[in-house]
Amino acid sequence: GGVRGAPRHAAAEEAPAVPAQLPVLPGGLLPRGHEEVQDHAAVRGQQVQEVLEFPVKAGWKKGTKLTFEGKGHEIDAGLPGDVVLVLDEKPHPTFKREGNDLVVQQRVPLKQALCGFATTLTHLDGRQLRVEVKEVVSDGFVKVVKGEGMPISKTNGAQKGDLKLRFRVDFPRELTDDQKAELKRIL
pLDDT in tens, 84-113: 888 877 888 999 999 999 999 999 999 999
Q: What is the pTM of this model?
A: 0.66
pLDDT in tens, 23-70: 444 444 444 444 455 555 555 556 667 777 777 777 778 888 888 887
Distances (CA, A) of 6 to 53, 68, 70, 71, 96: 9, 6, 9, 9, 32
> Which of helix, strand or coil describes residue 180?
helix
Contact 5, 71 (CB under 8 A): yes
